[in-house]
Amino acid sequence: MRGGVAAGAVLVPVCGTAAPSAAAEIDDSSGAIGVIASIAPESLEAVSTDEGIVVAHKELLDEDEFGRSVVTHPMLDPTNPDSIVRVDIPVDPSEGVGFKQDGADEIVIGLPNAHRADEADYGDFGLATYDNNDGSTTVPIPQPDGTLQITTVIDGPGAPNRYAYPITLPNGGELVDAGNGYFAILNSEGLPAAMIEPAWALDADGEAVTTNYEVVGNALVQVVDHGDGDAYPIVADPAVKGAYISKVNVNTVTQGKTVAVYPVNGWAITAFNNYWAEYKLYVSSTYEGTKYKNQLQCHWDFAPFKTPWNLDSWRPNVSYWDTIVAGCNP
């Protein structure tokens, strides 16, 4: 990434504390990044840049009861050589975006229509934008929770309906449907090396546009069913996330089975559904019932720094509230 930070944004160096500031302003409101800010502002709430973590408003600096915020011990921070997740966003779109997590092979994610796209132009937040020369523009957005959001702005009805992201998989790896809209990049052992969130697309009025993923060989293809009735431009993306779970063991104890879940980083702030989708790739359906989900979510909510998160087979199926009252293991 190159270029400067948008005016009004809060820049947070890893070793420093930012002063409060107003909400971020976009220098070029008519460009692709301005369109994203208008239609899907949450995509730019926290951006990992070469200068530090940039947040859109000061409330994002507030810490939770565990001392965590989106800028505390980020998983993806280009200013930190020891960052858990690292990305390499090229000038030439045909090279694809490199995505590397500690302990895993690098994954290269190709960009849509890269063979006809222009080299990177750098705008707000130092983000690279690629004009695909087909009525669409692609903007990779690295985020501190370990997400690489590869956002495409669709200018009008003449733009393609299909956007292919060819993925160079780890040796022996596989791209699979993980259920509930999620897809996963598996390593040679069949374990998740990275997760891909469900597809979404929004038009200029904030209305959802029908979209889905298809797997074609080693490519993830986002199909965006845009056309008559949609307000342009449209924003769509796949979001690739680093793994939040390092391993899962199923242990036999006197009372039955305990599923031991080892989180990568207790500092990570992300939606619980991301953990749940990844967890299910480690275990059989035997360990996917409500009681396991409630125990996992309770640890995620109230014991993020405990290792491992133990989910017990002999616990009863009770409400999530009762699971909390019982200290996560009712």
Which residues, listed in sequence order, are joined to residue 154 by a DSSP beta bridge? Answer: 136, 234
- Is residue 2, in this structure, part of any structural domain at all? no
- Is residue 211, in this structure, part of any structural domain at all? yes
Question: Are both 238 and 255 inside the same structural domain?
Answer: no
Question: Are both 269 and 123 inside the same structural domain?
Answer: no
pLDDT of 148 reads 95
- Is residue 4, in this structure, part of any structural domain at all? no
Please give the model's pTM, rounded to 2 decimal places.
0.87
pLDDT of 297 reads 96
Question: Are both 90 and 212 inside the same structural domain?
Answer: yes
User: Tokens 């009735």 correspond to what residue?
Assistant: 229
What is the bridge-based pairing of β-strands 97-101 and 85-88?
Answer: antiparallel
Number of H helices, E strands in the chain: 4, 22
Q: Of 219, 242, 265, at which residue does a domain stop?
A: 242
Question: Are both 230 and 119 inside the same structural domain?
Answer: yes
Question: Are both 236 and 292 inside the same structural domain?
Answer: no
- Helix (H) / strand (E) containing 259: strand 256-263
- Is residue 58, in this structure, part of any structural domain at all? yes
Question: Are both 91 and 161 inside the same structural domain?
Answer: yes
Question: Are both 316 and 196 inside the same structural domain?
Answer: no
Question: Are both 252 and 211 inside the same structural domain?
Answer: no
CB 89 within 8 A of CB 103: no
Question: How many domains in the chain?
Answer: 2
- Residue 166 CA to its chain's centroid (Å): 18
- Is residue 330, in this structure, part of any structural domain at all? no
Environment class of 266 (CB within 10 Å of its CB; exposed 0-12, middle 13-18, buried 19+): middle
- Residue 97 CA to its chain's centroid (Å): 14
Please tell me the chain's helix, strand, coil percentages from 3-state DSSP, rounded to the nearest 5.
Answer: 15, 35, 50
pLDDT of 263 reads 92
Strands (E), 23-96: 46-49, 52-55, 85-88
CB 182 within 8 A of CB 198: yes
pLDDT of 273 reads 92
- Is residue 278, in this structure, part of any structural domain at all? yes
Nearest residue to 102 (alpha-carbon basis) of 306, 276, 243: 243
Question: Tens digit of pLDDT per residue, the chain (330 long)?
Answer: 554 444 445 544 444 333 333 334 555 545 899 999 999 999 999 999 888 888 888 888 888 888 888 888 889 998 888 899 999 999 999 999 999 999 888 999 999 999 999 999 998 888 999 999 999 999 999 999 999 999 999 999 999 999 999 999 988 999 999 999 999 999 999 999 999 999 999 999 999 999 999 999 999 999 999 998 899 999 999 999 988 999 999 999 999 999 999 999 888 888 899 999 999 999 999 999 999 999 999 999 999 999 999 999 999 999 999 999 999 999
- Is residue 5, in this structure, part of any structural domain at all? no
User: Rounded distance, CA 72 to CA 70, Å?
Assistant: 6
Q: Of 199, 216, 242, at which residue does a domain stop?
A: 242
- Is residue 229, in this structure, part of any structural domain at all? yes
Question: Are both 317 and 259 inside the same structural domain?
Answer: yes
Domain of 300, in residue numbers: 245-325
Question: Are both 112 and 168 inside the same structural domain?
Answer: yes
Question: Are both 80 and 205 inside the same structural domain?
Answer: yes
Question: Are both 16 and 117 inside the same structural domain?
Answer: yes
Q: Of 242, 264, 292, at which residue does a domain stop?
A: 242
Q: What is the per-residue burial (b if ≥16 Cβ within 10 Å, else e) of 59-91?
A: ebbeeeeeebbbbbbbbbbbeeeebbbbbebbe
